[in-house]
Structure 1
Amino acid sequence: MATASLKRSDDPLDTTVRLVTPERIVFQYPLAGPFRRYFAYLIDFAIVLAAVVIASLTLIVLSLGSQSGVGPIFVAYFVIMWGYRGFCEAVFNGQTLGKRALGLRVVSERGVPITGAQAVLRNLVGSLDGTVPYLIRPDLTSLLLLTGLTSMLLTRKFQRLGDLAAGTMVVVEQRRGRAGLIRVEEPAVVALLPWLPLRVEAGPELARALSDYVNHRARLPRARREEMALHLARPLSVRYRLPENVPADVVVCAFYHRVFVGE
């Protein structure tokens, strides 16, 4: 199981959480502080408000202004207010439109993508810390937002009540586009590829470890490459029954090729 620790307390407010995988690969995630998350909240609040207004006007028109449209309006209000964040975070891998605009993402405390259950739970509990806006009672929303802010300031990972309940945290996303894909075509790597399946499935931690290593290996001397790649290459070699005495650097590069390039 991955363990997490924080940097020293003299870090800036948007600090960094360190996660260590069983393969001894260390990942660093910049944590999103309260202020950055608040701007994302304002964007989502505006979207929810606009959606409620549009839905209400549409239902009024469809009901020809009669009182029969009042009930559906309250239903639409409830569904949008309570469902927007949970739906977006479950479907779009931890992001609402506001979080996407600010480069934020909800992940589990282990640094892996959240599940649908976690997305729903953190937003249900969000009714207690102001994340779910009460458009009819803005004064109540403001009071509950103070509860959420207090919770974030008292926890090392800036977790509000919903995050504590669901075991999640909000990080600043580090985008890695496929435009930066590196093709490793060294003869030893190409010779090892037939030993691997055409497509190797890798979780987010393994994929990130492979990507980070290959993107930085050119700066390292050969001995240092072997030292760094060994912890990752050893369990992969055993799992896929690769030939013995293959350099760890070659193994990691071959897996990188299969995970990101395929072929």
Structure 2
Amino acid sequence: MSELVTGEAVALELRPARLPSRALAVLLDLAVAVLAYLLVSIVLVFTTASWDEAARTAVSVATFVLVLVGAPIAVETLSHGRSLGKLAFGLRVVRDDGGPIRFRHALVRGVIGVIEILVTFGVVACIASLVSARGRRLGDVFAGTLVVRERVPAARVGFVPPPPPWLAGRFSGLDLSAVPDGLWLAVRQYLARMQQLDPQVGWAMAERLATDLAARTGTPVPPGVPPAAYLAGVLQERQAREVRRVYGSGPAVGATRHSGGGPTVGGSPHSNHSAHSGHAARSGGADHSGRSGYSGRGEVPSASGDRPATGFVPPA
């Protein structure tokens, strides 16, 4: 399975294609391209019979480039990485981050593919695919792409509880640029499965992940914040930033509504932060002796009717 991770810290269920399936897909594409080239060449022989030798040579070279190089590039661009051969074998070309390819990706793959596949009869492409951990040929390496299998059963993604409202705005100033994708994925997997863990084991895992995350951000975990709640708050902050980066400055996913104001992006009306912190401190529902910072039932009754239950217990 691939290690592609999206901005929401979700591992993409993409399986890199193996060399046999890729080779069969390329052979099918080449067979179709060569057949089209032969048909076009036969038509040109009759239509350019009265032309001089130089004109016929120029037309032949242009036909070769357009049919065997330009056509595959256009097909991959318009189909977002699915040529006829790849469609037949359930393959697709995607970017390194799992997104659909564009013209520049298909152009680099096509130009380098002329040397890898046509000139060397696929020898260079086979060697590069065997050496690469994810089966990429040189065209994929330079284009930043990956050929994956599309026909893979979809896996169910566990529910990740949102952070508690009393953490609103606490992590809006963190520098998350140094946090690797592997750590984001580990945090998300822990939050999705912490209800299934033994309380002592879950608390220890949360502390270790929180320590690693705080070291990467350069800011220690706020005092009195359970590690599981800290992880959920920072993860939601990252998701909110990703949404703002993609869709602009509109409302972000995961916004929470506070009793004193409107919806907040990543939980950030700073004017209500102290009020909610004081309310959390007076709620008396803290359980620092609890070993996971998370209720065993998966949710905690809301102290006020307009705040959703998150499953996290506020600190004392």
Decide: shared fold, TM above 0.5. Answer: yes
The one of 138, 158, 177 equivalent to 2:135 is: 158
- What does residue 91 of structure 1 align with? 78
Q: 1:242 to 1:38 in 2, by over 3 A?
A: same
- What does residue 18 of structure 2 align with? 33
Q: What amino acid sits opposite 2:21 in the alignment?
A: R
Larger radius of gyration: 2
The whole-number CA distance in structure 2 between the counterparts of 1:60 and 1:164 is: 39
Q: 1:224-249 deviations in whole A, cap 9, x for unaligned?
A: 8xx9x99579737961645353467x
CA-based RMSD of the aligned residues comes to: 3.6
2:84 is aligned with 1:70: no
Q: What amino acid sits opposite 1:57 in the alignment?
A: I
The one of 79, 82, 95 equivalent to 2:69 is: 82
1:67 offset after TM fit, Å? 4.3
- What does residue 170 of structure 1 align with? 147
The whole-number CA distance in structure 2 between the counterparts of 1:149 and 1:117 is: 23
Q: 1:4-33 deviations in whole A, cap 9, x for unaligned?
A: xxxxxxxxxxxx212223322222211111
- Pairs aligned (count): 180
Would you tell me which structure has more strand in proportion to its own residues? 1
The whole-number CA distance in structure 1 between the counterparts of 2:137 and 2:25 is: 15
Q: What amino acid sits opposite 2:34 in the alignment?
A: L
Paired residues of 2:37 and 2:67 also in contact (CA < 8 A): yes
Q: What amino acid sits opposite 1:70 in the alignment?
A: R
The whole-number CA distance in structure 2 between the counterparts of 1:86 and 1:39 is: 18
Q: 1:21 to 1:128 in 2, by over 3 A?
A: same
Q: What amino acid sits opposite 2:41 in the alignment?
A: S
- What does residue 257 of structure 2 align with? 243
Q: What amino acid sits opposite 1:66 in the alignment?
A: S
Q: What amino acid sits opposite 1:76 in the alignment?
A: T
2:97 is aligned with 1:110: yes
Paired residues of 1:93 and 1:114 also in contact (CA < 8 A): yes
The whole-number CA distance in structure 1 between the counterparts of 2:104 and 2:309 is: 42
Paired residues of 1:60 and 1:66 also in contact (CA < 8 A): no
The whole-number CA distance in structure 2 between the counterparts of 1:242 and 1:70 is: 69
2:23 is aligned with 1:23: no
Paired residues of 1:107 and 1:170 also in contact (CA < 8 A): yes
What SS class does the counterpart of residue 171 from structure 1 fall into? strand
The whole-number CA distance in structure 1 between the counterparts of 2:96 and 2:25 is: 20
The whole-number CA distance in structure 2 between the counterparts of 1:94 and 1:247 is: 43
Q: 1:95-139 deviations in whole A, cap 9, x for unaligned?
A: 211111111111111111112111101211112211xx3xxxxxx
Q: 1:30-67 deviations in whole A, cap 9, x for unaligned?
A: 1111110010011111111111111112222323x334
The whole-number CA distance in structure 2 between the counterparts of 1:123 and 1:156 is: 22
Q: 1:184-237 deviations in whole A, cap 9, x for unaligned?
A: xxxxxxxxxxxxxxxxxxxxxxxxxxxxxxxxxxxx99x78xx9x995797379
1:175 offset after TM fit, Å? 7.7
| Range with greater deviation from structure 2 (50-59 or 37-46) | 50-59
Q: What amino acid sits opposite 2:7 in the alignment?
A: P
1:73 offset after TM fit, Å? 3.0
Q: 1:152-196 deviations in whole A, cap 9, x for unaligned?
A: 1111111111111111110011489xxxxxxxxxxxxxxxxxxxx
The whole-number CA distance in structure 2 between the counterparts of 1:44 and 1:23 is: 36
Q: 1:38 to 1:238 in 2, by over 3 A?
A: same
Would you tell me which structure has more helix in proportion to its own residues? 1
2:141 is aligned with 1:128: no
What SS class does the counterpart of residue 93 from structure 1 fall into? coil
